[in-house]
Structure 1
Amino acid sequence: MSKYVVKCPRCEEVQDPYALHCENDDALLRTEYSKKQIETSDMPGIWRYIDWLPVNGIIEEGTGRPVTYKSEGFAKELGLNDLNITFNGYWPEKGAFIRTCSFKDLESFPTMQRLIERDEERIMVVASAGNTARAFAHVASITGQKLLLIVPKNSMHRLWTTDDDTSSICTVTVEGDYYQAIAMAEKIAAKEGFVSEGGARNVARRDGMATVMLDAVLTTGSLPQHYFQAVGSGTGGISAWEASMRLLEDGRFGNNMPRLHLAQNLPCAPLYSLWTGIELTGRCPEEMHDDVLYNRKPPYSASGGVKDALDDTNGMIYGITNKEAEDAQKLFEETEGIDILPAPGVACAALIKAVETGEINADDSIVLNITGGGQKRLEEDFTTKQLDVGLTVSPEDPDAEKKILEKISEFFNEGGC
């Protein structure tokens, strides 16, 4: 029997293992692993969960992984007795070594490993608001895989790296938002010689993110009652749900499906609007505490998407203001002793709100996903540098695609943007 199959959860037909879509419907394809009880390996980083990753080999330099620990300071401030924090970032004192300081590393390494296993020579195209691009740039620097990053111009400050060799990475910025970057990337990825990383429909990305829940449960020994995370597309929430289903089937960690508590940053919160029916107005993403959480077209209603995950877990979505996020981020940093990125500050604010409204009780078991942190701590140990920008285009420019293709040809034929 093969290690895994990729199936459509709606029609239940087995698909090509590298497929992104079902021919029969819009469902998000899902992996089914032959090993129903996970065993951690002695491999480094994320690869300790290789039983439930859709890969056969590893990228040995990928030594970062989620690290779960029981909170004392933040938990005490909130009056919680069983708050477990899963930290995704750089905090060597806790054994956390994600060099990009973002849980997007959990997606990029298994995705890249699958490309390697396919002997893929096409240029991978990644659209990002910053953190995903940084993660894919890191793994591409390690492997030498040709990579085209397409990001909003205003997100370039997030495209830093600690790697010396970035010669396989060409970066294009778009004078627009994340969705416009995605649209441009889709046009380029559809052309010969390019391959898309797949976004939310890529099972390697989702199963990589699912290691957050795996780490939490294998560390604590049981499935939590509640799971908190800030989301843009909601894919991280879907991943936690899918991991929980596998852990329930495993049978050793209880029979409780964790309740998803997903958080978005007001006023730019499409998932919150879809879930609550509340229409929001504002300048997006300019008015956000963290614009990485803004995705205009999230996978909400697709089978196996965000709505299904929320329905199945009795979940909910919180709308968090900038001030709530800023205050929560500051409180977390003061009580836990590590800096975090703005997005997990939104998740911290949702947890505070859930305590205040009685959605959770003091003795409930809770996992809080800190999706990024330790950048200030990283800068004590490493020198960071910005990625070079090869080209900036306007989404309104009818020649934008042509200009990008010309720049890519120049970059990979002449050795630089």
Structure 2
Amino acid sequence: MERIPVSGPWITRKEIDYVTDAVTNAWYGNANVWHERFEKAFAEYLGVKHAISLPHCTAAIHLSLLAFKVGPGDEVIVPDCTWIASAAPVTYVGATTVFADIDPRTWCLDARSFEACITPRTKAVIPVNLYGGMPDMDAIRDVARRHKLAIIEDAAESVGSEYHGRRAGSLGDTGVFSFHGSKTLTTGEGGLLATDRDDIRARVLFLRDHGRPPGDRLFHNTEVAYKYKMSSMQAALGAAQLERVEELIARKREIFAWYAEELAGVDGLTLNYEAPGTKNTYWMVTAVLDERFGLRKERLMELLAARGIDCRPFFHPLSSLPAYAHSPEAEKARQRNAVSYRVSPSAVNLPSALNLTRAQVARVCQSLRDVLAGR
């Protein structure tokens, strides 16, 4: 039986040629040629002034927090349902993570819950564009502006998504991206920080290279900082993928359309939502089951795996994880975040690899219907 993977990239001759050029030529005086090309093109794509390539999105969030001078005694608000990388850097800088609830339709940060979590110690918020969907950024930006909070827009899963004509990653003080091998646009591993602010750019460039100014040739470090740089081969792969980004996004939206058509008649099953005025790039096609099915995500994944279909669980609420077991804020969230704890237990990411065929999607959907019917 052919197994259907949950994720995977779409690589063409262009990517192979660009990476080959980087590994052949991007040394010595040409070491940064591909970085500069990728960063310039990505900034133009987003419509922002600066794009800084990094080894992963976690580094982009970490550097954002440092640039905003977030540290011990401060609080940062994140949505409860997201990958831990959205929140872990808050701990890295010694601040406290506060877990807000999610919207029941977009599964992104709920603006009302966000505002209810603000205290005099709150310094920043990290809204996450979950699975390619967009939160209510007008409401979130309004709350942040009134309370003078920095916005780190976590666009790790949403390259190409849009909010009222603006691209994901261009709506905060910084926007952060992941180019992990599972993402729509990949560099194998990799990340990027985007911003319009010159001061943030300068600070991030300094911090990502062991605390020395850009262009320094004397190895004269003025702070103990970090080594957060992407390789030229990764940058070349990213440049090639970016030139094909509309093709990649169109494929993701096509795959979602296949699922929507196949599952249209299944009562009690909800797929990703595309809010008016937004464009969802459907990084992961996600199915949320009604409680009446009595199927938890772990059991659903087992049943589909037995049919040769790989899935992923909807992110567990961060406040439910052992990593935050001793956090007082996690305890509060467990009592408060009703939507997160209602949606997550019965939701899975269905196969969403860029090389999926219509026939494979049909097989996934038939298997899902069979499981739900008890067959």
TM norm structure 2: 0.29
Which protein, 1 or 2, shows the higher relative CO under an 8 Å CA cutoff with sep ≥ 6? 2
Structure with more of its chain in strand, by fraction: 1
